[in-house]
Structure 1
Amino acid sequence: MLLDLSEEHREHLAFLPQVDSAVVAEFGRIAVEFLRRGSNPKIYDGAARKLNVSSDTVQHGVEGLTYLLTESSKLMISELDFQDSVFVLGFSEELNKLLLQLYLDNRKEIRTILSELAPDLPSYHSLEWRLDVQNFQNGKYLKIKGPRR
């Protein structure tokens, strides 16, 4: 299964080939941190100053990488499918390998974080409601209350 990235996500990821692989690895760390604790504008500002780009560019790059990693982890795509999904972005082989390694190293942790963020679905904690339904279906409720007239 290949990831279907929107044009906006492709634009956000287009910044990655312009920076060193160490920066991409750091963006990967920031992306996982973003999932854990939320956005931190100070990190984006500091990275933007070091890279001599706007803070928005850094933020979009991290958000694009976050989306790539979370969607891949959520869908549990295979190594080959991840490589094929990234290959269509036109990155260098070195960057593709780095992104694959980021995915493989972090997918379990990302899935754990995503499961913690997922809302709990409502569920019954006792069987009392079942007894009420069974009593109603068996007519016991009608016998006690009497038929409606």
Structure 2
Amino acid sequence: MLLVLSDEHKEHLGFLHEVDPSVVGEFGRIAVEFLRKGSNPKIYEGAARKLNVSADTVQHGVEGLIYLLTESSKLMISELDFQDSVLVLGFPAELNEVLLQLYLDNRKEIRHILSQLAPTLPQYHNLEWRLDVQLASRTLRQQVKPTVTLKLHLDDSGTQSARVLQTDPATLLHLIAELERALAEAKTNHCRRIMRNIK
């Protein structure tokens, strides 16, 4: 799978043409440090003074490198696909090798950092349900009003919580039909291809 870069990202990465490959390695270190601890404007200013360029140029170059590394790591693209993705940037072979080595050295750590940034969602633990039917009342004779009450138990990072939901049977049947349609869609070849690329 090839990584598709927008014109803006190509422009940001174009700055790497003007610097030495050893400086690109330093930019890679700054990019990984940025992912770990966040942005530090002082680093951009120091690098900009050494290179005689604006701090914005250095920041855009590092951000372009961050995008390249995070997207490549997220998709776990192979070495060959990474090289082909970078080839469109028109870098010299030496710079392509530096970028490849930077990707190979840091992709596991970047994936670990990205997994920590992902939100944790509660997981299904148990479900209790009850069907309530009001058979008759003095005001409404011979009218049946069924209600389904669901108690959904969730596990959220070791913490147990419960949600109580109430609906009528018609809405519940519609919800079941939609979920079954979604499960059927997940079994199609198109969805399987997408899921394989996400992992």
Separation in structure 2 between the aligned mates of residue 30 and residue 119 of structure 1, nearest angstrom: 25
Following superposition, the deviation at residue 111 of structure 1 comes to 0.1
Equivalent in the alignment of 1:116: 116
Shift in Å, 1:26:
0.4
Say yes or no: does 1:66 pair with 2:54.
no
Greater percentage in strand: 2
Residue by residue, what CA displacement relative to the aligned partner does 1:94-113 show, whole Å, maximum 9, x if unpaired?
A: 00010000000000000000
Q: Deviations over 1:57-109 (max 9, x none)?
A: 00000000000000000000000000000011100000001000000000000
RMSD: 1.3
TM-score of the pair, normalised by structure 1: 0.88
The match for 1:12 is 12
Q: Which runs of 4+ in 1 moved over 6 A?
A: none
1:122 Cα deviation after fit: 2.8
Q: Percent identity?
A: 74
2:76 aligned partner: 76
What does 1:122-137 correspond to in 2, within 5 Å?
122-124=122-124, 126-127=125-126, 130-131=127-128, 133=129, 136=130
Aligned-partner Cα distance in 1 for 2:108–2:60: 24
Normalised TM-score (structure 2): 0.66
Give the gaps of 5 or more residues in structure 2: 136-143, 146-199
Number of aligned residue pairs: give it.
137
- Where in structure 2 are the equivalents of 1:18-57 lying within 5 Å? 18-57=18-57
Match of 2:2 in 1: 2
Structure 1 residue 123: deviation in Å?
2.4
Question: Is the helix fraction higher in 1 or 2?
Answer: 1
**Equivalent residue, structure 1, for 2:191:** none
Output aligned runs, 1:74-113, within 5 Å.
Answer: 74-113=74-113
Aligned to 2:140: none
1:111 alignment partner AA: R
CA distance in 2, matches of 1:21, 1:92: 10
Structure 2 distance, partners of 1:55, 1:80, is 33
CA deviations over 1:103-138 (Å, ceiling 9, x no partner):
0000000000000001112324x42xx12x3xx2xx
The code of the aligned residue for 2:114 comes to: L
Question: Within 1, Cα distance between the matches of 2:33 and 2:74?
Answer: 17
State the structure with more CA Rg: 2
